Structure 1
Amino acid sequence: MRQRIGIITDIHFGSGEEHGMKSAEQDLIRCLGFWHREGIDHVLQMGDLIDGPPAEAAGQLDRVTALLKSFSGTIHHLVGNHCLDAGLPRLMASASLSSPFYHVRLGSWRFIMLNGMDITTSSRPETAADQKRMALFTSDSWAQPYCGAISGHQLTWLGAKLGAAAAAAEDVVVCCHLPLAPGTTDEHHGILWNHREAADIILRHPAVRLVLGGHYHRGGITWRNGIPMLTLPGFVKRHTPPCFTCGIIELEESLITVYDQQLQIRQLLHRNQSRP
């Protein structure tokens, strides 16, 4: 069964001060109109909704969420590293989230929305395993301090949801703001600290059709076990190549197509493809 869903990432609302916010508002309104014209009822907002810093984050969050609430459908939000400048409780309230990680079923597809900022440099992990996950940023040059890790509790939840999806014969899209593979980011932007651990869980499940992320504003793609791991280009860099503002992902049994805001095809991802 074909499923079409809107996509946008790294809005970084608040960058460029007032002029930048007005420009972003105008372009976001265009995205909402684009999705409406295309009959899109659900949108994935892949994190870094705001830019910060903490002193300005609450105002940025209020302003951009008020605009997004004019969308007639449902926007499913991910937690990004910049989002935490507003505080996780306030972010969750604005995004109407009961948990920072969750799943959504749309037809025969299940979208698993991970919180890659579950463990951060300011966390106080209670278990020895989570303490080791936190320590990764001190030993891996790609594990930047402004990124984070997924806790053992969330990884257990992830495995259970993947198993349930397989039992229900559902196809799965796993979403995380932070990239889960080196080929989809660079060392400067960083990666999920425990990306190997998370990817090992995800990629051993045949139900997974796509791993989707943000954070790295240029975008990127790699393939593991025949599964595409795709980082979407950031809205905040929409005026520079690859000039991606927002888009639509069309999900079919044997093909995933990524369109941009002009309905130009950006990616054709065939099932079990070994290379892009």
Structure 2
Amino acid sequence: MSIVCDILNSLTMITMVDSSPVERALAILVFGICPGDVMGLTNGLASPPGKKPLFSFGIISDVQYADIPDGHSFHGVPRYYRHSIHVLQRAIQEWNSHQDLNFVINFGDIVDGKCPPGQSLDAVKKVNYEFQKSNRPVYHLIGNHCLYNLPRDKLLPLLKIPGLNGLAYYDFSPSPEYRIVVLDGYDISAIGWPQGHPKTLKALEFLEKKNPNSNKNSPEGLQGLDRRFVMFNGAVGREQLEWLDGTLQDATKLKQKVIVCCHLPFDDVASDQEALLWNYDEVMNIIHQYNCVKACLSGHDHKGGYSIDPHGVHHRSFEAALECPPDTDAYGHIDVYDDRLLLFGADRMQNTEMYFNS
């Protein structure tokens, strides 16, 4: 099974390529996917003829606005701190013109950690002001850069995140057939909580065991999946894991399909290893106990990626708005059907068709 999934993942990478008969046969054999239903098997993306989406929603991730000159990531990738808010503005304009769009999900990091001292609150308010121009509801996820700028007790009310006790996980059902589950990937984290908070102390103790570097944001010397044990990542706590399990049980009883959203990715084919949730394996162990979860969507990785795991769950990490040169974009919308998700991306955001057995 894992060999076949490796082959399928090679087919479903972001670059669109034509498929061979063998590739199509493998897709059909493993997941019941018809020819052209997997991203990478066709060069185009079209809605199923005669079918309307159950609902549609806009997506954007990693705006990371800051009023500073352009710069680069640790890996030398250009970052356009002032331009990113223009990407968001164009996204809002596009979503507002989409007659059938139901809501928007922001996958985190609305401002950058390099915001000049004293400007964090103004920067968050400035980006949030643009989101408030949406004529559809906006659901926010928190990312590490959000928490570099504001503590949870200020950030969550500002973004109207409906979590309790400073936590940012929740769920909602946009249609009777589906449930959206939003996870808080910085539940256990060295950032965002007060300095002496038990969750902060637990995260610092964890990093001390897992990462020998004096700079805990550095993965230097860490190998393979251990590269995820850096301070700019985090974990889902025990209480949240129990909540996730109960939520998926409930969705199963109601015969709902589930889309799981988190700033941090859960699959190392869809993202770099150093971008993964610390305990992605625990989260996926729960998800794989149920057949209701069809896709896991995330940000954080910036370059974007896509995979299908051995259980047939789709993983899509989104391209960052921050890394769009002037006059380019990275946002999109997803049309949701009973048997697939269709991501229609703008410019650098790649189209993706995620097909599953209904």
* Normalised TM-score (structure 1): 0.87
* Counterpart secondary structure, 1:261: strand
* Deviation of 1:70 (Å): 1.2
1:82 paired to 2:140: no
Per the alignment, do residues 264 and 9 of structure 1 end up closer, same or farther by CA in structure 2, a change over 3 Å counting? closer
1:24 paired to 2:84: yes
* Deviation of 1:198 (Å): 0.7
2:111 match: 50
CA shift digits 1:106-151 (9 cap, x unpaired): 012111000000111356547xx98986667438222222110000
* Deviation of 1:73 (Å): 0.9
2:235 match: 149
Q: Matches of 2:338 and 2:133 in 1, distance apart? A: 32
Per the alignment, do residues 116 and 31 of structure 1 end up closer, same or farther by CA in structure 2, a change over 3 Å counting? same
Match of 1:98 among 135, 148, 162: 162
Q: Matches of 2:272 and 2:144 in 1, distance apart? A: 16
CA shift digits 1:77-103 (9 cap, x unpaired): 001011102111111011112311101
Residue type at the aligned position of 2:146: C
2:271 match: 185
Query: Does the CA-based 8 Å contact 1:120-1:134 persist in structure 2?
Result: no
Per the alignment, do residues 205 and 80 of structure 1 end up closer, same or farther by CA in structure 2, a change over 3 Å counting? same
Per the alignment, do residues 96 and 137 of structure 1 end up closer, same or farther by CA in structure 2, a change over 3 Å counting? farther
Q: How does 1:61-210 map to 2 (within 5 A)?
A: 61-85=124-148, 86-99=150-163, 100-107=168-175, 108-121=177-190, 124-125=197-198, 137-138=210-211, 140-187=226-273, 189-210=274-295
* Counterpart secondary structure, 2:162: coil
Q: Matches of 2:141 and 2:228 in 1, distance apart? A: 22
Query: Does the CA-based 8 Å contact 2:103-2:136 persist in structure 1?
Result: yes
Q: Matches of 2:120 and 2:98 in 1, distance apart? A: 32
The structure with the larger Rg is 2
* Normalised TM-score (structure 2): 0.68
* Counterpart secondary structure, 1:4: strand
Q: Matches of 1:169 and 1:160 in 2, distance apart? A: 14
Query: Does the CA-based 8 Å contact 1:41-1:72 persist in structure 2?
Result: no
* Deviation of 1:169 (Å): 1.1
Residue identity (%): 23
Moved more, 133-142 or 7-16: 133-142
Output the aligned Cα RMSD.
Answer: 2.9
Match of 1:256 among 338, 341, 350: 341
* Counterpart secondary structure, 2:128: helix
Q: How does 1:230-269 map to 2 (within 5 A)?
A: 230-239=316-325, 245-261=330-346, 266-269=351-354
Q: Matches of 2:59 and 2:209 in 1, distance apart? A: 30
Query: Does the CA-based 8 Å contact 1:144-1:191 persist in structure 2?
Result: no
CA shift digits 1:1-36 (9 cap, x unpaired): 622111011111116449x56533332221111111
CA shift digits 1:35-60 (9 cap, x unpaired): 11112230010011111247332121
Per the alignment, do residues 15 and 219 of structure 1 end up closer, same or farther by CA in structure 2, a change over 3 Å counting? farther
Gaps of 5+ in 1: none
Q: Matches of 2:266 and 2:136 in 1, distance apart? A: 29
Gaps of 5+ in 2: 1-52, 71-79, 212-221
* Deviation of 1:67 (Å): 1.6
Per the alignment, do residues 235 and 114 of structure 1 end up closer, same or farther by CA in structure 2, a change over 3 Å counting? same
CA shift digits 1:190-213 (9 cap, x unpaired): 210001011111122111111001
